[in-house]
């Protein structure tokens, strides 16, 4: 069963309550929450107080992506928000096992994130220890970037590595995910698709979020 995660930073922040209701009605399964520290990426976003408000006003589980350095510090900040997942970047973790242990200490599912330019082999030692892999298809930091097609081979390699394993973490993709880029993944389909401005939060037409998700899913189902 493949799932949709809506990138909450791309929603209309002036009408966030209405946005959450629309996303619930559309059947969105996760709210993808990008936490940015202005150091690891040149942007700032989504503090714990904001996400606490979001969590208290929706039934949709939170999927927190730490685009930060010093992940241990941020896990202590965001673990009490009780998300479903916390993703941290393999590129910045001094001790990946310690970071995973810290996430689990909050009864949160650990997820390991990897940037487009990082070799996929960097996460192989930890696949048995995480519940999800967040594969970035753009460099983290800003919406509206071009999908990096080099990631497609990394997806294929990861799925081949996981084939036949007892423990198989979910694979999530994030970065300019839309009808066209989903089509590019026809032979390496992930489990969770993060949708932002490109496919969900736009004003190009008058369709509902439900209709936009059907549009995405129809393309996914053609390639299953």
Token pair 């970071």 in the structure block, residue: 99
The residue from 12, 34, 76, 157 that is catalytic is 34
Q: What is the rounded distance in angstroms from the CA atom of residue 200 to the CA atom of residue 23?
A: 10
Q: What is the rounded distance in angstroms from the CA atom of residue 211 to the CA atom of residue 134?
A: 26
Residue 65, H or E segment: strand 62-67
Q: What is the rounded distance in angstroms from the CA atom of residue 209 to the CA atom of residue 191?
A: 20
> Residue 15 in 3-state DSSP?
helix
Please list the helix, strand and coil fractions of the chain in percent, rounded to the nearest 5, in that order: 40, 20, 40
For CA atoms 189, 195, 197, 202, give the dihedral sign: positive
Among 87, 194, 54, 75, smallest CA distance to 138 is for 194
Active site residue 34: yes
The residue from 37, 76, 95, 174 that is catalytic is 174
Active site residue 94: no
List active site positions.
34, 174
């Amino acid at each position: 069963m493949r799932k949709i995660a809506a990138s909450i930073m791309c929603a209309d922040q002036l009408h966030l309550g209405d946005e959450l209701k629309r996303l619930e009605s559309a059947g969105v399964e996760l709210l993808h929450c990008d936490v940015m520290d202005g150091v690891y990426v040149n942007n700032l976003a989504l503090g714990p107080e904001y996400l606490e408000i979001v969590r208290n006003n929706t039934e949709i589980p939170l999927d927190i992506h730490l685009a930060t350095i010093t992940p241990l510090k941020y896990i202590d900040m965001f673990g009490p928000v009780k998300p479903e997942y916390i993703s941290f970047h393999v590129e910045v973790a001094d001790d990946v096992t310690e970071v995973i242990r810290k996430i689990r200490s909050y009864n949160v599912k650990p997820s390991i994130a990897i940037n487009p330019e990082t070799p996929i082999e960097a996460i192989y030692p930890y696949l048995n220890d995480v519940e999800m892999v967040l594969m970035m298809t753009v460099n983290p930091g800003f919406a509206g970037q071009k999908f990096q097609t080099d990631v497609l081979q990394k997806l294929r390699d990861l799925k081949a590595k996981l084939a036949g394993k007892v423990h198989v973490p979910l694979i999530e993709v994030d970065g300019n995910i839309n009808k066209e880029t989903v089509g590019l993944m026809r032979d390496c389909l992930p489990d969770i698709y993060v949708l932002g401005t490109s496919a969900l939060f736009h004003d190009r037409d008058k369709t509902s979020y439900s209709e936009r998700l059907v549009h995405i899913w129809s393309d996914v189902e053609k390639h299953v």
